[in-house]
Amino acid sequence: MYSGFMSTPERLIESTRELLWERGYVGTSPKAIQQHAGAGQGSMYHHFAGKPDLALAAIRRTAEEMRATAEAVLGGDGPAYARIESYLLRERDVLRGCPVGRLTMDPDVIASDELRAPVTETLDWLRDRIAGIVEEGRAQGEFTDALVPQDIASTVVATVQGGYVLARSSGSPAAFDTAVRGLLALLAAARTSAARS
């Protein structure tokens, strides 16, 4: 499954990331991680103190990747609306859900300050990043002053996370796409007449 060039700790982290996304924390046993990674119990406990330590490394890696993916779109050039639109329309594996957002549904992750921290930090970062873009759009006269940047940013994040839930519930990415189209229509209506022309 993994390249022969990948170290044992890397295989363990990557396996844990995959299993957390598929099964959640409770459903990800040390044995399943070892089997998925092709690593023995001794190797796992040589590199990590236990499942919580390995899960934390995996969650941090997933959170960093999510930030990098979002920044690649949000940090581009262009008007604020276009950058937010690109973020909302970027390709996603909608039916799998968000590997970070899904962790908020895991009671063991939420109960642990340490495991929850990278999840909270990532979602906070995303809201702040989008709010900054909305503020840029207001400052440049692209959006009306009626838009409250933090409110819009929370709405964007909630639409994406809720869109995943709707898509998984219906078994179709169409539900996600509908939510995104609705939000983009609302954002487009909040653009100034100068920005629309």
Q: What is the pLDDT of residues 100-113, one digit of tens each?
A: 999 999 999 999 99
Going from N- to C-terminal start, the domains of the chain cover 61-196
User: pLDDT tens digits for 7-40?
Assistant: 999 999 999 999 999 999 999 999 999 999 998 8
pLDDT at 122: 97
- Select 61-196's CATH number: 3.40.190.10, 1.10.260.40, 1.10.357.10, 1.20.1260.10: 1.10.357.10
Confidence grade of residue 3 (pLDDT, cut at 50, 70, 90)? low
Q: Are 153 and 134 in contact (CB under 8 A)?
A: yes
Question: Residue 159's closest CA among 137, 177, 132?
Answer: 177
Question: Residue 63's closest CA among 117, 130, 2?
Answer: 117
Phi-psi region of 141 (alpha: psi -120 to 50; beta: other; left: phi over 0): left
User: pLDDT tens digits for 35-84?
Assistant: 999 988 888 888 898 899 999 999 999 999 999 999 999 998 899 999 99
pLDDT at 70: 97
Token pair 């590199």 is at which residue? Answer: 47
pLDDT at 4: 59
Whether 5 has a pLDDT exceeding 80, the answer reads no
User: pLDDT tens digits for 152-174?
Assistant: 999 999 999 999 999 999 999 99
Measured between alpha carbons, how far is residue 56 from residues 47, 117, 129 in Å? 13, 9, 24
